[in-house]
Amino acid sequence: MTRSADHHVPVSSHHHDHHDQHDRHDQHDPLVARVERFSREVLLPRAVETDRHGVTAGTITALGSLGALNHLAPPEFGGAALGRAADRRLHELLAHACFNTWLVWAQHAPTVERVARLHAEGARHPWADRVLRGEVLVGAGLSDVRRFPGRCIAATRSGDGWRFGGTLSWVSGWGLNSVLVLAAVEAASERVVVALVPVGDRLKASALDLAAVAGSRTRRVLLDDVEVPDAYVLTVQPLAEYRAADRSQASDARPHVFGLARRVLDELREESGTDVLVERWAPRVAELRERAYALADEALGAGDHRHRLRERLAVKVAAGETVSALSRALLVARSGRGLTADNTAQLHARSALFVQVQGQTAEVRSAQLASAAAQVPGVPGPSAL
């Protein structure tokens, strides 16, 4: 099922424990422990219901009370200033318990880190204090920059600020967000303007009938000539620079994929006849996780967006194929009952489909399609990369 990716990402001969030894200390962080318990006791039992009816305001309030809405903020704002390993662990825990809740939360969390970094550099923003204190939930509309010069959000200079216009393809957490982080392109100068903008009446949402992450409150949002004062702007940077950073981040296998994979493995363990399957796939997931994090850390340390990019892409593709294979295996293990809409096999299969396209750049898509072509038995195909 993952022949092509296996060629590029071999599994080491030793098995890994359910949690890697090097980040076991994260379990002792009080915030991580609180989120783990909340995820296990509250989010997990409601995952199917959440997928059907949507993430609730109560869930977001609860995450805030746990400290999970400003876990990357500095202590002066009541934040935990968690490190990278602990942050990854939170992503894994939430995705493991409820993929819809993870998606809504995951739009918010990186913005807190961005605002904290800019605040440390002396920048001030009207919403910074509330964001850093975890008092508001931030939504995100960033991915349409990838479509420039086609359909994307346009930024037009206007007095002491900008005007943003166009349609955001995807905003999760709609109705829960007080503010959105938006990226728009000024075509003439090919600059990307990233701003933190409050939700107002010039942002008009329309429903998306999604087959996956249906409970994530994801909407298509029209920006009707939205006024963006300079005070709302976080960064202005060249398009090429923005795209290089975006391509780099999108080329890494992210923690939520491993959280979802572990959820499916946990459920496979409860089915009959799956012992050999779990015995073979569990170390595969652990190996991919370790490789993904090590490569991402190495690239960050090197300060080079293209550092070992082919290897990082190979791991990302392999991780996506792995979670897809596991979700199919869970469906097979449950036979016909796995086809009912309220069965978690269906929920996880749909989430695995989302993993295939989330954060998908042209390079990622090409690698995925090449890998799929290479898996046809007996037919020579291109390399996965």
Check which CATH number belongs to the domain holding 154 and give it.
2.40.110.10
Q: For helices 309-334 and 255-269, what crossing angle results, to 10°?
A: 30
Q: What is the mean pLDDT of residues 279-296?
A: 98
pLDDT recorded at residue 377: 85
69, 103, 132 - which closes a domain: 132
Claim to verify: residue 71 and residue 185 sit in the same structural domain: no
pLDDT tens per residue, range 322-338:
999 999 999 999 999 99
pLDDT recorded at residue 378: 77
Q: What is the mean pLDDT of residues 202-209?
A: 96
pLDDT tens per residue, range 111-151:
999 999 999 999 989 999 999 999 999 999 999 999 999 88
Claim to verify: residue 150 and residue 222 sit in the same structural domain: yes
Claim to verify: residue 115 and residue 162 sit in the same structural domain: no
Q: Please give the single-letter amino acid code of residue 232.
A: Y
Claim to verify: residue 128 and residue 156 sit in the same structural domain: no
Note down the domain range covering 366. 241-374
Lowest mean pLDDT among 24-38, 219-233, 243-257, 333-347: 24-38
- Rounded to an integer, what distance in angstroms lies between the CA atom of residue 53 and that of residue 216? 9
| Concatenated DSSP letters of 17-52 | -SS-GGGGGGGGSHHHHHHHHHIIIIIGGGHHHHHH
User: pLDDT tier at 8 (50, 70, 90 boundaries)?
Assistant: very low
Taking a C-beta distance cutoff of 8 angstroms, is the pair 203, 221 a contact? yes
pLDDT averaged over every residue in the chain: 92
Claim to verify: residue 185 and residue 274 sit in the same structural domain: no
CATH of the domain at 304: 1.20.140.10
Q: Judge if the upstream peptide bond of residue 149 is cis by omega within 30 degrees of 0.
A: yes
72, 100, 132 - which closes a domain: 132
Which residues is 196 bridged to in the sheet?
181
Residue 253 maps to a domain: yes
- Listed residue (117, 59, 113) closest to 86, CA to CA: 113
Residue 7 has pLDDT above 50, yes or no: no
Structural domain count, the chain:
3
pLDDT recorded at residue 14: 36
Q: Tell me the whole-structure pTM to 2 decimals.
A: 0.91
Q: What percent of the chain has pLDDT over 90?
A: 88
User: pLDDT tier at 359 (50, 70, 90 boundaries)?
Assistant: confident
CA distances from 330 to 49, 312, 381 (A): 20, 27, 29
Residue 344 has pLDDT above 90, yes or no: yes
Residue 205 maps to a domain: yes
132, 162, 185 - which closes a domain: 132
Q: What is the mean pLDDT of residues 17-40?
A: 72
Residue 355 maps to a domain: yes
Residue 7 maps to a domain: no
Q: What is the mean pLDDT of residues 53-62?
A: 98
User: pLDDT tier at 26 (50, 70, 90 boundaries)?
Assistant: low
Q: Which class for 22: exposed (0-12), middle (13-18), buried (19 or more C-beta within 10 A)?
A: exposed
* More reliable by pLDDT, 13 or 292: 292
Q: What is the mean pLDDT of residues 7-13?
A: 35
Residue 383 has pLDDT above 90, yes or no: no
pLDDT recorded at residue 380: 64
Residue 5 maps to a domain: no
Claim to verify: residue 368 and residue 340 sit in the same structural domain: yes
Task: Tell me how long the chain is.
Answer: 385
Residue 259 has pLDDT above 70, yes or no: yes
Claim to verify: residue 112 and residue 177 sit in the same structural domain: no
pLDDT recorded at residue 161: 97
Q: What are residue 277's phi and psi, to 5 degrees?
A: -60, -50
pLDDT recorded at residue 340: 93
Claim to verify: residue 176 and residue 226 sit in the same structural domain: yes
Lowest mean pLDDT among 94-103, 117-126, 317-326: 117-126
Q: What are residue 42's phi and psi, to 5 degrees?
A: -115, -55
3-state helix, strand and coil shares in percent for the chain, rounded to the nearest 5? 55, 15, 30
- Rounded to an integer, what distance in angstroms lies between the CA atom of residue 52 and that of residue 46? 10
Residue 381 maps to a domain: no
Structure tokens at 46: 């409601």
pLDDT recorded at residue 1: 33
